[in-house]
Structure 1
Amino acid sequence: MNLQEHYSQLYTKSSKAILEGNSKVDNQINDASDSRFGITLLIRPNDEVKAKIQLFLNELRAIDSKQYYYPNSDIHITVMSIISCYEGFTLAKIKTEEYIEIIQKSLLDVDKIKIELKGITASPSAIMIQGFPTDESMNNLRNTLRENFKKSTLQQSIDSRYAIATAHSTVVRFQEKLENPEKLIAVTEKFRDCNFGEFTVTKLELVYNDWYQRESKTISLADFYL
């Protein structure tokens, strides 16, 4: 996949929808009864990158404070959604140590992963930071995870919704009708090619998480150091 082309097409289509008043509101963000949980292998950008992301979010917040803005604690890049969030999933349904074992096995031959976060893309319901792995290390890891989990008998839903190929980070979700779509898109245009920084991945995290990866609802299952 050509990531730049993919992100650009998504931004063009989604920004048009937003400007035409066709953005989508996520009505479940503040639903206390939301019981969608899953397990995810993820990466967190370093503090320097997250500080630059917050500068962008501050500009968006200044024109529309009613949307859901990710705090630094929740900003992440998904390596693999191993069990996609679904209603009623709990850790009692799996043996966590078996998942950890497969991930450790999958990481044996992984080289250093470097990711550049540069530019903005969007969907009709969210705004994302574009992520670009600098080589094939992340794709190789994802393919190894796919192969090893599919050989196992463990519950998993890898690629059930779509085959993950990007390295984006969702940083805004629309939880209310947009107050001023034109101003919002003006800010995203300003940051469209902003370089948020490059970082080397030193740690991957396996977590039990809700749909939004909120720290308050996340349980850390294991850390894997590269």
Structure 2
Amino acid sequence: MDLITHYDQLYNTSSKAILEENYKLDTQIKDTSDSRFGITLLMRPNETIKAKIQLFLEELKTIEPEQYYYPDSDLHITVLSIISCYDGFTLDKIQVKDYISVIQQSLVHLDKINIEFRGITASPSAVMIQGFPTDESLNNFRDKLRENFKKSDLEQSIDSRYTIAAAHSTVMRFQEKLQNPEKLIEITEKFRDYDFGELKVKNLELVYNNWYQREENTIHLADFII
């Protein structure tokens, strides 16, 4: 399935659920004892894209101030969740240098990654910015990472939740009952095809992170220049 169709189907199903108040609340956002951690290879939007995302979020905040909004520091696009977050995972369970080595090995044939951020989509519990890679570089790199990690004996749970193929960035999560679902969808419709800008990826980050990629809970492990 192409990304446009994927995002459209997701939005159509989710916006209907939101309007019918069949959305899902994330009950763990405020849980300070949440111990779900993992390691992720990710990229971050540039300052221009971040500024446009925050303009969008400011509109949402006027009608849904009690929801969870990602600050600039936490905005990201997942390249690959290498160890999906689970209760009790800590860094002393792995040798980080071995993970860095596999990623460096996988980077050898990577030329460039460019992503166009255009429009928004939604799930029954969140709102996301749509990302469209301009070629197959990201998918090919993900496949090389999968191949090399699965050949290794390192702990990993790649694709255990789902096989990542998109390049979206989650920017809002539902943590309280929506005050005005109709107005929320009205604003998302306004931004359905909005141009948030193009990202020419120059740097990838390997991080130890919690479920929400909160900066205060994140340990930076390595940078990879591409």
TM-score range, shorter chain: over 0.9
In structure 2, list runs of 5 or more residues that go unmatched: none
Residue equivalent to 2:9: 9
Once the two structures are TM-superposed, the CA of residue 225 in structure 1 deviates from its matched residue by: 0.3
AA matched with 2:21: G
Residue equivalent to 1:36: 36
Over aligned residues, Cα RMSD in angstroms?
0.4
Q: Give the SS at the match of 1:9.
A: helix
Q: Give the SS at the match of 1:10.
A: helix
Question: How many correspondences in the alignment?
Answer: 226
AA matched with 1:225: I
Residue equivalent to 2:224: 224
Residue equivalent to 1:152: 152
AA matched with 1:212: Y
Residue equivalent to 1:125: 125
AA matched with 1:190: K
AA matched with 2:59: E
- Percentage of pairs with the same residue: 71
Once the two structures are TM-superposed, the CA of residue 199 in structure 1 deviates from its matched residue by: 1.4
User: For residues 168-203 of structure 1, what are the alpha-carbon distances to aligned partners after superposition, in whole Å with 9 as ceiling and x for unaligned?
Assistant: 000000000101000000000000100100010000
Q: Give the SS at the match of 2:92.
A: helix
C-alpha distance in structure 1 between counterparts of 2:56 and 2:35, whole Å = 31
Output the TM-score relative to the length of structure 2: 0.99
Residue equivalent to 2:71: 71
C-alpha distance in structure 2 between counterparts of 1:49 and 1:216, whole Å = 22
Residue equivalent to 1:97: 97
Q: How does 1:1-226 map to 2 (within 5 A)?
A: 1-226=1-226
User: For residues 78-103 of structure 1, what are the alpha-carbon distances to aligned partners after superposition, in whole Å with 9 as ceiling and x for unaligned?
Assistant: 00000000000000000000000000
In structure 1, list runs of 5 or more residues that go unmatched: none
AA matched with 2:134: T
